[in-house]
């Protein structure tokens, strides 16, 4: 079994999320991408969350495609997609969050400060995407 965990700029995530997991169709390798957060502790927390969630989904037969589709279509801003009652991976996400919270306590990470750092990346990318969409509409209208 191969597991790859990397940190990368938030702009390189497949969609607006700070942690993402997927499996290689050819090798079966599990890839976990974590947005750059400036703290190895934050990186570890996100990576462990994604690792636990990915393997619980694989174990429980929750299709990766169903997770991705749900995440990409989720529009509610006051909660994470995995927390939603209709999420196909709610159980796996909640268990992963529990592990993440325990690890945060062990590392002395203040949960609210950590969540604020994650939210800041999400909000900034959303703003940038909206600005790009608005500027494209302006260009289209003026031509």
pLDDT, tens only, 88-121: 999 999 999 999 999 999 999 999 999 999 999 9
pLDDT band at residue 139 using 50, 70 and 90 as cut-offs: low
Mean pLDDT, to the nearest integer, of 59-80? 91
Confidence (pLDDT) at 3:
97
Domain boundaries, given as residue ranges, for the chain: 3-142
**pTM listed for this prediction:** 0.90
DSSP string, 10-42: GGGSSSS-SEEEEE-TTT--EEEEEE--S-HHH
CB 104 within 8 A of CB 94: no
DSSP string, 97-125: HHHHHHHHHHHT--HHHHHHHHHHHHHHH
CB 21 within 8 A of CB 31: yes
pLDDT band at residue 141 using 50, 70 and 90 as cut-offs: low
CB 55 within 8 A of CB 62: no
Whether residue 142 is predicted with pLDDT greater than 70 in this model: the reply is no
Confidence (pLDDT) at 140:
59
Please tell me which residue, 126 or 39, carries the higher pLDDT value.
Answer: 39
pLDDT, tens only, 10-61: 999 999 999 999 999 999 999 999 999 999 999 999 999 999 999 999 999 9
CA distance 73 to 81: 9
């Amino acid at each position: 079994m191969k597991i790859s965990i990397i940190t990368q700029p938030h702009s390189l995530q497949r969609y607006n999320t700070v942690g993402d997991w997927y499996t290689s169709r050819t090798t079966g390798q599990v890839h976990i991408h974590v947005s750059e957060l400036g703290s190895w502790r934050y990186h570890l927390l996100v990576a462990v969350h994604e690792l636990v969630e990915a393997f619980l989904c694989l174990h429980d037969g929750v299709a990766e495609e169903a997770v991705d589709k749900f995440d990409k279509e989720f529009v509610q801003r006051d909660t994470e997609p995995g927390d939603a009652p209709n999420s196909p991976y709610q159980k796996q996400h909640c268990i992963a969050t529990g592990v993440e919270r325990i690890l945060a306590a062990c590392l002395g990470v203040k949960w609210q400060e950590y969540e604020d750092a994650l939210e800041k990346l999400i909000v900034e990318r959303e703003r940038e995407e909206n600005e790009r969409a608005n500027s494209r509409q302006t260009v289209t209208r003026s031509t």
